[in-house]
Structure 1
Amino acid sequence: MTRLLVVDDSALMRRLLGELFTHAGGFEIAFARDGLDALRQLHEFQPDVVTLDVHMPKLDGLRCLDRIMVERPCPVVMVSAMTAEGAEATLEALSLGAVDFIAKPGGAISLKMDLFGPTLVEKVQAAARARLPKARRLAERLRLHRAEPRPRLRPPPMRPAPAAPVGLPDLPPLPALPGEIEGAVVVGCSTGGPPALDALLAPLPADFPWPILVAQHMPASFTGPLARRLDKLCALTVREVTHPVPLAPGHVYIARGEADLIVGRRPAGLMALPAPAQAEHRWHPSTDRLVTSAMEPVGARRLVGILMTGMGNDGAAAMTVLRQAGGRTIAEAEETAVVWGMPGELVRNGGAEFVVPLDGIAACLLDLVPAR
C-alpha cells in the first residue's frame, strides 16, 4: 500500500480526492487541511507521497513544500490553478523539489473528475516510484531567487551507451559554415523536466551556435511562464513559440502546451512552427513529432537529440530513427532522472549514443556541436 497524504484547504476537494484514490486502490490515505496540518501529518503519518495544494491558509503550498524537503523529504505532486499566478508558483515548486504537478480544471471540479482524476492517479503512482531530486544547496536557491545564470561548467566526461546501434560509424563533430545555421538541437522531457531544462541550458554560452527546440509536456498556461523563467536563468534567449519564428543561434524555442512544435523550411530559412496537436500522439507537446519534423529540413546528421526525465516513451521512437540515420543522441542516465521512462525507452531501443547524468548533458552537447 502507498501511504498518500492529501493536502487541500477545500473540504470538497479532500472528499473528491479521497474517493478517487480509494476507488483506484492501493492507497492508504490521510488528509490535511492546510500547510501546518500537513507538517504534523508528515511526521505522524509518514507518507510515501503527498498531493499539495498551492494556495492554502496559515502556511501556503510553497512554504510547506520547502519545509517538507528539509524535515522529511518525500515525493510531492503539486495541485495548481490553471492561471499565470498558479503556473509561476508551480514552477517555483518544481525548482524546490516537487516531482510533478497537475492543473485543476476551472469551474465545478466535481463535474470534471472523470477527466482530471485518472491523470492525477497516474502522476501520483509515478511519483511514489520516482527518484526524489536532491535537495538544492543554499547557494543554488539564492541563485534561483536572484535569477543569475550559472557559470559554464565542465562536468565529468560522457560515456557511450551500452546499447548503441550496430554498424554505425563514430561520427566526428560536424563542421560549421559561416553565416548559416548548420544544425539544431531537439529536446524532450516531461515529469521533472523544468529543473532538468535549467540544468541543461544554464551552462550553455549566449553564443551557442545552434538553435534548441524543446517539447516539455505541460498545459498551455504553463509553457509561457516556463519560457520566461528559463530566459532569466540562462544566457540564451528563451521564448515560447506561439507563431512562426525563424531559428537563430543562441535561442531556445519552447513548444506551447497542449499543441506541438515542428520545424519547417521557408524561403527565409529554417522556422519553428506551432502546430495543432495530433491525436496519433498521446503526449503534447510531442517530442516524437518535433524530432521527425526536424529530420527532413535540417538533416539527421545536423541534429542532436536529447531525451531527459519523463513518464512514458515520447521521443524514444523518433530519436532511435534519428540515431540510425546518423544523428547524435543523448539520454539522461537513470541515476539522475526523476522518472526514467522516456530516456530509458531510448536506451532500451538502442537509440542512445550517449547516456549521461543530468549535470553532464550540457558538456556532452558542447562537445558534439562545433563552436563558431
Structure 2
Amino acid sequence: MAPYRVLVVDDSAFMRKIICDLIKQDPRFTIVATAGTGAEALLALKQYKPDAITMDLEMPEMNGLEALKQIMRIQPTPVIMISGISEDGTRETIKALQLGAFDFIRKPSTAVSPQEVGQQLLEKLSVAVMTRSKPVPAVPRPEAVKKPAPPQETRKPEEPKLPEPEKIVKPEIKFKPAGRPAVAKPPKREQQRPQKITGSFTDIVAVGTSTGGPRALHQLIGDLPSGFPAPVLVVQHMPPRFTRSLAQRLDSFSNLKVMEAEQGQQVHAGHVYIAPGGLHMELTERAGQYYIHLSETPPRSGHRPSVDVLFESLLPYPKLRRHAVIMTGMGSDGAKGMKSLVEQGIPTAVAEAEETCVVFGMPRSAIEAGAATTVLPLHSIGNFLVSAVGRNSSSS
C-alpha cells in the first residue's frame, strides 16, 4: 500500500522541517508538499490532493482559520491544527475544531517535547486517514444567543496567484474526496439566558467525548433550552488551557451558562461544567447540596480528565436521576463507568450513532460492552435529553 500523503503548512521553515521529520518517522506517511501560507496551501491542496493536512494557525496573507474554511468548502480533507498555548492560540484552536478541523496538537515547547508531539501527531494522523473515507453528515449549529454572529461574506475570494509549493515526486494516487461538510445553521433561537438557579434538582446529565467533541458539544449544548432543569457535567479530552477556551466558546452560543469547572464549585441546574484539562472531575455532596471535586489522581486509560471517573462519581447518588451520554472519540473511556450506572438502573444511557461520529471508538466501546441502552445520531441527543429530564420534572 502506498504511503498516505500529507501536506504540511507552516510559515516557519524551521517548524515545517520539525513537523516533516516527525511525520517521516512513520513509513505509513509521506510528505507530498509543504506550504508557507494558507494561500499556498490551497494551491497545494488542488495539485497534490493530500490525504491529510497539518495546519499552523498564525500565518501571513491567509491564516490557518481562513484556509481551513476554504478547504472544508472546496475539498474537505482531515486537518490537524498546530496550536500554540497562548490565550489567542487556544481560542482560535477551538474555533478551528468547530469549523471542521479533525483535531489539534500543541507546538513543541519547553512544556511539550518534540517526541511527545510526534507521538500525538502520528496517532491523530493515523485515525484521521482511517476515518476520512466515510464523510460525517452535516449537523445544524445553533446561532449565538448572547452575541449576534458576524455577517458572512457573500462574495468568493479570488484564488491567490502564488508560487507553487515545493514538490516531492510521487506516483499518482487515485483520490476520492471525503470529509465533513460545512455545518448548516438553523433559524436563530429566541430563548433568553436563564437566571441563576439555586434550588434543588432531581436530574443530572453527564457527557463524555474526545476527538470531534467540540463540534459535537456545540450541537448538543445548543439544543438544550434555557431553563433546562438539570446540571450538565462534561469531560472533553483536551489539554490544560484549551478547556477554558472551549467553555467560553460554547457559552457564547448556548442558552445555558457554560463554564470551566472550579474546585468546590456548587452545581446548579441550567449550567454546564467543563472538566479542566489535566484534572479529573467528580460530583460530591455535602448537606444535601452538590459540588465539583477536581483532582490530579493518576490518569485512567491514559486520560485526565477521564469520562469513567466522572461517571463513577455519580454511583453514590441513586436519588438523582442520572443521564449519561458518550459521543465521538478515540478509545473506550466511559464505557466501564456507563456500564456501572446502567447496572444501577439509570433512565438514560446514550451512545452517539456511528453515522454522525467523527471517530466511533468511544461510542462503539459503550455499545459493545452493553452499556448504552439508546443509540442516537448527534442531532437527536439534545431533544432526547430534554424529553427524558422533562418527563421527571413534569411528574414531580
Q: TM-score range by the shorter chain?
A: 0.7 to 0.9
Equivalence for 1:358: 378
- Map 1:87-126 to 2 at 5 A: 87-107=90-110, 112-126=113-127
2:339 maps to 1:320: yes
Instruction: Label 1:25 to 1:73 Cα distance change in 2 as closer, same or farther (>3 A).
Output: same
**TM-score, L = length of structure 1:** 0.86
Measured after TM superposition, the shift of residue 284 of structure 1 is 2.1
How many matched pairs? 345
Instruction: Label 1:137 to 1:368 Cα distance change in 2 as closer, same or farther (>3 A).
Output: closer
The higher-RCO structure (CA 8 Å, 6+ apart) is 1
Instruction: Label 1:148 to 1:266 Cα distance change in 2 as closer, same or farther (>3 A).
Output: farther
2:328 maps to 1:309: yes
Equivalent position SS for 1:331: strand
Partner of residue 21 from structure 1, selected from 3, 18, 23: 23
RMSD: 2.6
1:96-138 CA-to-partner distances (Å, cap 9, x unmatched) read 11111112243497xx211111011101111112355556789
- Map 1:42-53 to 2 at 5 A: 42-53=45-56
Q: How far apart, CA to CA, are the structure 2 residues paired with 1:145 and 1:242? A: 31
Equivalent position SS for 1:360: helix
Q: What amino acid does structure 2 have at the position aligned with 1:75?
A: P
Q: How far apart, CA to CA, are the structure 1 residues paired with 2:239 and 2:89? A: 12
Instruction: Label 1:292 to 1:263 Cα distance change in 2 as closer, same or farther (>3 A).
Output: same
Unaligned segments of structure 2, at least 5 residues:
152-184, 192-197
Measured after TM superposition, the shift of residue 180 of structure 1 is 2.7
1:63-99 CA-to-partner distances (Å, cap 9, x unmatched) read 1001111111111111110111011111111121111
- Between 77-86 and 133-142, the greater mean CA deviation after superposition: 133-142
Q: How far apart, CA to CA, are the structure 2 residues paired with 1:208 and 1:90? A: 29
2:59 maps to 1:39: no
Instruction: Label 1:5 to 1:135 Cα distance change in 2 as closer, same or farther (>3 A).
Output: farther
Instruction: Label 1:213 to 1:245 Cα distance change in 2 as closer, same or farther (>3 A).
Output: same
| 2:342–2:349 contact (8 Å) kept in structure 1 | yes
Q: What amino acid does structure 2 have at the position aligned with 1:313?
A: S
Instruction: Label 1:232 to 1:358 Cα distance change in 2 as closer, same or farther (>3 A).
Output: same
Equivalence for 2:178: none
Q: What amino acid does structure 2 have at the position aligned with 1:128?
A: V
Q: How far apart, CA to CA, are the structure 2 residues paired with 1:138 and 1:182? A: 29
Partner of residue 62 from structure 2, selected from 59, 64, 82: 59
Partner of residue 86 from structure 1, selected from 84, 89, 93: 89
Q: How far apart, CA to CA, are the structure 2 residues paired with 1:303 and 1:260? A: 19
Measured after TM superposition, the shift of residue 357 of structure 1 is 0.2
Equivalence for 1:168: none
- What is the percent sequence identity of the aligned residues? 39
2:393 maps to 1:371: yes
| Bigger proportion of residues as helix | 1
Q: What amino acid does structure 2 have at the position aligned with 1:96?
A: L
Measured after TM superposition, the shift of residue 250 of structure 1 is 0.4
Instruction: Label 1:302 to 1:17 Cα distance change in 2 as closer, same or farther (>3 A).
Output: same
Measured after TM superposition, the shift of residue 27 of structure 1 is 0.9
Equivalent position SS for 2:268: coil
Q: What amino acid does structure 2 have at the position aligned with 1:340?
A: F
**TM-score, L = length of structure 2:** 0.81
Q: How far apart, CA to CA, are the structure 2 residues paired with 1:72 and 1:243? A: 44
Equivalent position SS for 1:246: coil
